[in-house]
Amino acid sequence: MRYSIFQVLKEGLTGHRGWRPVWREPTPQAEYDTIIIGGGGHGLATAYTLAKVYGGKRIAVLEKGWIGGGNVGRNTTIVRANYLLDGNQPFYELSLKLWEGLEQDLNYNTMVSQRGILNLYHSDAQRDAYRRRGNAMMLHGSGAELLDREQVREMLPFLNFDNARFPVRGGLLHRRGGTVRHDAVAWGYARAAAALGVDIIQNCAVTGMTIENGRIKGIETTRGPIRAAKVGCAVAGNSSRVMAMAGMRLPVESHVLQAFVTEGLKPVIPNVITFGAGHFYVSQSDKGGLVFGGDIDGYNSYAQRGNLPVIEDVVEGGMALMPMIGRTRLLRGWGGLVDMSMDGSPIIDRTPIKGLYFNGGWCYGGFKATPASGHVFAHLLATDTPHPTAEAYRFDRFRTGRLIDEKGVGAQPNLH
């Protein structure tokens, strides 16, 4: 069923009896051409692109839990292309372009809202660094504006401009950035992929891989063995566990990242704001809740929940930046497993095992990459060659020294 205003009106006048489940619940077949492990945003976007752009047939997406239950439903919904380095910025610009056309492409309201992202600076040195970053963004067509203190005050009068230690001096505004309803992204991709014949199989965990003579032959699952010539892995925080089934070690540590939402408030925050002196970022959802987060907890974790010291740190950052939120009540906090890579940038590449492909290492920033990740990973699965935009995201960069380390902190995942 194609969604439109006329469909809504028609269903409204006929008692909403015509709506149907948006994807099928198939039982797994014995064999597929391509299996995508992981039914998160990246896995679904990959399956959709593979079927739509590359004409792939007989594709299955396997999901251990349920669609929308992993990181695609746990992030803070921000999309942006405000990176500095050459390996990253063109990729995220591609992603932003795909976000801009996503709703029409999927025929699904994912509530793409380009409300802008403002990175605040608090010192001369930080302003210079943001100017440089803004120039890199403009060179790749992503757009950037450097605002001074008065321009920021006009936009966000409630900030604590005269904080004694970290006064707000201005900000780097990325107007095309914003937020997207994350559950709708999962559902929209799942619906569009299913319409193209992709089998979305939930409650199906991978338990092993069948590899013969250095080539993948299929996988073992909790719902029986499935044969496949090509297998793509896009499982975020569980990357190391799944790839260990193929005997691989990864340049990845799994960490926990927390996020929080307050009770609903009247509209107050018009865009996405990041605090440049601590680690705190915030936006306001359409329901009114302030959605915010900060640093990862900083130790290896598969727990999908964090600890109190980080909550305290995040909230301190929020209070330093906008004291007005002090009496807002926290509604929920949760954690997601992030696959922190050794240079803070992702990996989308072939593996030493023929037919097995890997997509991971997204750190805490996988959501914004969803459409481009699916786009380039589908290209890799279909053609066996990396997409030109993602040529830097290779395993061998750790051997050759071509790291993409935005923060320049080295092989220390909890600092990225």
Partner 1 sequence: MIIPHPLLGPRDAQEFVYLGDACLIDRPDGMAEDSADAFHDYVYMRDNPAGEHRELWYHEQGDRSWLVVTRDTVTHRILRAELASDIARQRGRGR
Distance CA 127, CA 150 (A): 15
Under the binding rule (CB under 8 A), the answer on residue 250 touching partner 1 is: yes
Closest to partner 1 by CB, 228 or 242: 242
Q: At what angle do helices 41-52 and 370-383 cross, to 10 degrees?
A: 50
Please choose, from the candidates 115, 96, 122, 125, the residue with its C-alpha nearest in 3D space to the C-alpha of residue 155: 115
Distance CA 24, CA 190 (A): 10
Q: Rule CB under 8 A: which of 209-238 touch partner 1? A: 238
The CA-based angle 73-85-128, given to 5 degrees, is 105
| Binding window for partner 1 (CB under 8 A); candidates: 65-73, 180-188, 203-211, 301-309 | 301-309
Q: Rule CB under 8 A: which of 352-411 touch partner 1? A: 398-399, 411
The token duo for 156 is 């966000």
Closest to partner 1 by CB, 336 or 413: 413
Under the binding rule (CB under 8 A), the answer on residue 334 touching partner 1 is: no
Q: In angstroms, what is the minimal distance from the CB of 321 to partner 1?
A: 22
Among 86, 138, 302, 384, binds partner 1 (CB under 8 A): 302
- What does DSSP say about strands 226-233 and 215-221: parallel, antiparallel, or unpaired? antiparallel
93 sits in which H/E element:
helix 89-100
Closest to partner 1 by CB, 3 or 398: 398
User: 99: Cβ–Cβ under 8 A, 6 or more apart, which residues?
Assistant: 79, 112, 180, 368, 371
Q: In angstroms, what is the minimal distance from the CB of 44 to partner 1?
A: 24
The answer to whether the beta carbons of residues 211 and 243 sit under 8 Å apart is no
Under the binding rule (CB under 8 A), the answer on residue 241 touching partner 1 is: yes
Q: How far is CA 225 from the centre of its chain?
A: 30
Under the binding rule (CB under 8 A), the answer on residue 240 touching partner 1 is: yes
Closest to partner 1 by CB, 125 or 308: 308
| Binding window for partner 1 (CB under 8 A); candidates: 78-86, 104-112, 251-259, 285-293 | 251-259
Closest to partner 1 by CB, 46 or 238: 238
Under the binding rule (CB under 8 A), the answer on residue 303 touching partner 1 is: yes
User: 412: Cβ–Cβ under 8 A, 6 or more apart, which residues?
Assistant: none
DSSP of 173-241, one letter per residue?
A: EETT-EE--HHHHHHHHHHHHHHTT-EEE-S--EEEEEEETTEEEEEEETT--EEEEEEEE--GGGHHH
The token duo for 259 is 């996020």
Q: In angstroms, what is the minimal distance from the CB of 348 to partner 1?
A: 17
Under the binding rule (CB under 8 A), the answer on residue 309 touching partner 1 is: yes
Q: In angstroms, what is the minimal distance from the CB of 92 to partner 1?
A: 23
Under the binding rule (CB under 8 A), the answer on residue 307 touching partner 1 is: yes
Closest to partner 1 by CB, 5 or 308: 308
Q: Where does residue 290 rank: exposed (0-12), middle (13-18), buried (19+ CB within 10 A)?
A: buried
Distance CA 208, CA 295 (A): 33
Among 252, 338, 381, 404, binds partner 1 (CB under 8 A): 252
Under the binding rule (CB under 8 A), the answer on residue 412 touching partner 1 is: yes
| Binding window for partner 1 (CB under 8 A); candidates: 90-98, 241-249, 262-270, 273-281 | 241-249
Distance CA 47, CA 59 (A): 7
Under the binding rule (CB under 8 A), the answer on residue 413 touching partner 1 is: yes
DSSP code at position 415:
G
Among 34, 283, 301, 359, binds partner 1 (CB under 8 A): 301
Q: Rule CB under 8 A: which of 271-300 touch partner 1? A: 298-300
Q: In angstroms, what is the minimal distance from the CB of 339 to partner 1?
A: 9
Interface residue list for partner 1 (CB under 8 A): 238, 240-241, 244, 249-254, 298-303, 307, 309, 342, 398-399, 411-414
